Each structure stands twice: as structure tokens, then as C-alpha cells.
Amino acid sequence: MPQTTDFAITGGGIVGLATALDLQSRHPTARITLLEKESQPALHQTGRNSGVIHAGVYYAPGSLKARFCALGVQATRDFCAEHGIPTQTCGKLIVATDEAELTRMTTLESRARANGIPIERLSAEDARTLEPNISTTGALLSPSTGIVDFAAVAQKMAELFTRRGGDILLSTQVTGGNESTQSVTLNTTHGPLSAGKAVFCAGLHADRMARNFGADVQFRIIPFRGDYFAIKNQPDDLVQHLIYPVPDPERPFLGVHLTRKMNGGFTVGPSAVLAGAREGYGKFSLNPTDLASALSYPGFWKLLAKNAGSAIDELSASLVKSRYLKKVQKYCHRITLNDLAPYKSGVRAQAVAPDGKIIDDFLFVQTRHSLHVCNAPSPAATSAIPIGRYITDQLLASA
Ligand SMILES: Cc1cc2nc3c(=O)[nH]c(=O)nc-3n(C[C@H](O)[C@H](O)[C@H](O)COP(=O)(O)OP(=O)(O)OC[C@H]3O[C@@H](n4cnc5c(N)ncnc54)[C@H](O)[C@@H]3O)c2cc1C
């Protein structure tokens, strides 16, 4: 355990690792130390997601999400091509199943065009020609959406960072610390570390890190578990594209989608229910501190009040498999209860404001010598490389 470093980065998910690599490329002689509490990188959100390289269809024009996602698609593909990580550009169909969804699809189409994302409107007939196993009244085709294993991307980033002289301290938890006029002291489970600058990419613990280091933040991370199922008993050509429902603007997440996996086969998911533990992946995982943190936060209750219907719907789908199946059968009747096999779940770190509003865009908060990544939900895996560049720019600008 070193006692001092030039730059300390907390969090070995894809955002922390992309930041570490970018800092290193701009400061090859600096000492850069990445601290990760687990025994290997990418065990949380980065290793438990849909694996979709999002094209950038959904995000508000002008938002950081729209900007970084558009840059991230190409940056991710270039990184993977350079380092031999397989990707597939299989394209995505966003499928409407009734008139109301067709209307909402028009808004989505305009948003994609405003973001400069290639998008094509398909009639029901054209969509069925592309995907005979899908029921739809009309669809949007996003040809540039693709898939990758983000954990493999993060592992490669970790390997490059250490090979180029960076330090990764695994099984080392940052427990607190403080910032002086000169530097930042990180208290860790292996002793203190003094850093010239610090970046915190702690995902599900972003709010705790920010508060521990004196950043003035009002939001709280609310953990939303997403359950997936693997699809068995179905042919390899069940669908050629990723199949997404038209998102409901009343709900914060994209809806249960049918996704091709890099190692073959398909999954459906993720659902969205309050997780009993920030890193609790089982239906009944419980961490009293985490649960109390959500339940004692007025913002959570305000969010729940606004979304009571969808919260009950998501909870019942999480508990009753046949309810979950209905979400999939809405657009793919071929999938039956027997086809849904258990698959690892993920927990999203979603920042919620005190008024109960989901903080939609990426959020970064800076203090004198630190930068906190406060909200980096989807598509932050796709966007990690430009996010890393942005963090480095901000950090060096404040030097
Ligand atoms: C179900 C689900 C589906 C998603 N699908 C997609 C998708 O298809 N495409 C996409 O682009 N994005 C997707 N996302 C979002 C994406 O996975 C995340 O935005 C991204 O992985 C965030 O990366 P991160 O590095 O910020 O967080 P994480 O991967 O969670 O990493 C944070 C790291 O910090 C470490 N840490 C935390 N606290 C401490 C501490 N005190 N000391 C030391 N280490 C600490 C943790 O152990 C962890 O390794 C999805 C997310 C989920 C959950």
C-alpha cells in the first residue's frame, strides 16, 4: 500500500477504469492508484448489465447522456477492435404494440434524429419481414445498436492500465477521508493514502463517497434491481435484432427487452424493483443500512407516490413469473413460461433528488481536489471512454 499518489481513483468499474487509462495517457509519468473494494474489477453494474452498446436514441438532445453516448459508441467499438474484444452490431428494433405506443414512437424517432442517430421507421409488415417471431404494429430500427461484454472491456482496461505502470489495489475499500487545501486523504481498509487529486467512481455508493468527502450533495442513490431470464428451448434465429418495447415516459427505465448475448443465446430483462441491498442480487437480499437509507429518504417516497402503479406492476412481475412473462409476450408470443431460465440480476445505481425526481442525466460534482461521479446509469457503460476523457479534462482544468 503506497502512502502517497498523484491521482487516486476509487472504483474499478468501467467508469473508474476508463478514467484511469485516460489520465495515464495524458500523464504517463504520474503515479495513478485505483482502489477497488472487491477482489476483481467489474463485479457490480459493469459486470451485470444488458451488454448493449446503445446508439443514443432515447436521450434528451443536448444532454451529457446524448453527447457521451454518441461518442461512446464509436470509442467502444474502436477500443474493442484494437484489443481483440468481440462486438456485434446487430441493430435494435423498438416495437410498438398498440396505437398509443405508435404515437410515442414518433416522439422517439424525432429525438433520435435530433441526436443525429441513424433511425428508420418500419411498417408492421416490414418489421415482421425482418423479425417473423415478433408481434408489432410498427417499429423503429436503430441499425447502429450493438452488443459487447462490458466486463471484458473493463478487464482489458485494467490489464492495460497496470501494464503501463498504474497501480490497482484490489480488496481495498475506501472508508472515508477528507480534503485539505493541499491534497485529499483517503482512509482505506489497508491504511491512509494521500493523493494530489481524487476521482470517485463508486457506482452504487456514489452518494456516500461524496458526503464522506464533504461534497455538498442532496441526492441519494436508490438501488433498483433488474431481474433477467435466459431464454432456453428457442432456436438461435429466434430474433436477429435486439427487441425493445417503446418506453413508457412515466417509467424511468427502458422496459424488459429481448437481448442477444455475445456468447450465444438470449436474455430478457431487466425488470425494476427497489433492491433490499445496494449490492444485493437475490430477490430477498437485505442490507438493513441500505434499506433504511432508501426508506428514510423523503425523495424515495415522493418517487413512489408518483409511480405507485408501475412500482406495483414491477414488484408483482418480480415475484410472479407469469406476470413477468406477460411483458415479454406482449411482443414475442413464442416465449413460454418453460423457456425462462434463471440468469444473474443487476442493480442500477439511480440518483434521486429530494423532490422525488429521477436525476436523468449524468451528474458530476467537483470540490477543490476531487471529482465525484454522482450519477452514471445506463448508457454509462457505452459512454465510459468519453466520460473518462471528460473527467480528466475537468480534473486537469482545476489543477
Ligand atoms: C441491469 C442493468 C442493465 C444495464 N444495461 C446497460 C446497457 O445495456 N448498456 C449500457 O451502456 N449501460 C447499461 N447499464 C449501466 C451500466 O452498467 C453502468 O452505467 C456502468 O456499469 C457504471 O459503471 P461504474 O464504473 O460507474 O459503476 P460500477 O460498475 O458499479 O463500479 C463501481 C465500482 O466501485 C467500487 N466501489 C464502490 N464503493 C467503493 C469503496 N468505498 N471503495 C472501493 N471501491 C468501491 C465497486 O465495488 C464497483 O466495482 C446497465 C446497468 C444495470 C444495472
Kindly report the protein residue whose alpha carbon is nearest to atom 31 of ligand 1: 13
Residues 239 and 370 in one domain: no
Q: How confident is the model at residue 2 (pLDDT cuts 50, 70, 90)?
A: confident
Q: Does 248 lie in the same domain as 305? A: yes
Residues forming a β-bridge with 33: 8, 167
**314 C-alpha to ligand 1 centroid (Å):** 22
Cα 106 to averaged position of ligand 1 atoms, centre (Å): 31
Q: How many residues does the chain have?
A: 399
CB of 269 closer than 6 A to ligand 1? no
Q: β-pairing, 92-96 with 242-245?
A: parallel
Residue nearest atom 35 of ligand 1, based on CA coordinates = 11
| Mean pLDDT value across residues 71-98 | 98
Q: How confident is the model at residue 199 (pLDDT cuts 50, 70, 90)?
A: very high
Q: Is 346 in the pocket of ligand 1 (CB under 6 A)?
A: yes
Over range 36-60, report the average pLDDT. 97
Whether 108 is covered by a domain: the verdict is no
Q: 20 lies in a domain?
A: yes
Ligand 1 center from residue 235 Cα (angstroms)? 32
256 with 328, same domain? yes
Task: Establish if 124 belongs to a structural domain.
Answer: no
CA angle (250, 253, 255) in 5-degree steps: 95
Q: In sequence order, what E strands does 1-63 have?
A: 4-10, 32-35, 52-53
Distances (CA, A) of 357 to 205, 211, 233, 271: 19, 20, 41, 19
- Region 133-148: mean pLDDT is 98
Pocket test for ligand 1, best of 9, 10, 45, 57 (most atoms within 8 A of CB): 45
Same domain (yes/no): 225, 274: yes
| Other Cβ atoms within 10 Å of 331 Cβ, number | 26
The SS3 call for residue 193 is: strand
The answer as to whether 365 is a domain residue is yes
- CA–CA dist 207, 342 (Å, integer): 31
Select from 49, 184, 258, 364 the residue to mutate for testing ligand 1; criterion: most ligand atoms less than 8 Å from CB. Answer: 49
**CA triple 147-152-157, angle to 5 deg:** 120
For residue 236, pLDDT beyond 90:
yes
pLDDT confidence tier of residue 173, bands split at 50, 70 and 90: very high
Supply the CATH number for residue 304's domain: 3.30.9
Q: Are residues 313 and 212 in the same domain?
A: no
- How many domains is the chain built from? 2
Burial 245-255 (b: 16+ CB within 10 A, else e): bbbeeebbbbb
Is 27 within the bounds of a domain? yes
Cell output for 204 = 452504487
Strands 363-366 and 370-375: antiparallel
Amino acid 1: pLDDT:
80
Using a 6 Å cutoff on CB, does residue 275 contact ligand 1?
Answer: no
- Statement to judge: residues 256 and 383 lie in one domain: no
Instruction: For residues 163 and 38, state if they share a domain.
Output: yes
Query: What are the pLDDT digits (tens) for 324-377?
Result: 999 999 999 999 999 999 999 999 999 999 999 999 999 999 999 999 999 999
Distance 202 CA to ligand 1 centre (A): 8
Which contacts of 113-119 are long-range, i.e. CB under 8 A and separated by 24 or more positions? 114/61, 115/56, 115/57, 115/59, 115/61, 115/66, 115/70, 116/70, 117/55, 117/56, 117/57, 117/70, 117/142, 117/144, 118/55, 118/142, 118/143, 118/144, 119/57
**What confidence category does residue 254 fall into, taking pLDDT thresholds of 50, 70 and 90?**
confident
Minimum CA distance residue for ligand 1 atom 25: 13
Cα of 47 vs centre of ligand 1, distance in Å, is 8
Ligand 1 atom 46: residue of nearest CA: 11
* % residues pLDDT > 70 (the chain): 100
Cβ(50) to ligand 1 under 6 A?
yes
Quote the mean pLDDT of the chain.
Answer: 96
Cell output for 105? 414512437
Same domain, 389 and 251: no
- Same domain for 322 and 242: yes
CA 131 to chain centre: 27
Statement: residue 250 has pLDDT above 80: no
Cα 121 to Cα 46, 62, 126, 134: the distances in Å are: 32, 23, 9, 16
Are 259 and 272 within one domain? yes
Model confidence at 252, pLDDT cuts 50, 70, 90, reads confident
Query: For cell 484490489, what's the residue?
Result: 170
With respect to residue 377, please indicate whether it lies within any of the assigned structural domains.
Answer: yes
Range of the domain at 9: 4-46+151-219+360-397
Please report whether residue 277 resides in a domain.
yes
Q: What CATH number should be reported for the domain holding residue 186?
A: 3.50.50.60
Q: Which amino acid is at 28?
A: P
Domain membership of residue 94 (yes or no) is no
Q: Is the CB of 377 under 6 A from ligand 1?
A: yes
* Separation of alpha carbons 248 and 254, rounded Å: 8
pLDDT score of 249 = 80
Question: Are 226 and 330 found together in one domain?
Answer: yes
269 and 386 share one domain? no
Closest among 96, 118, 326, 347 to 226, alpha carbons compared: 347
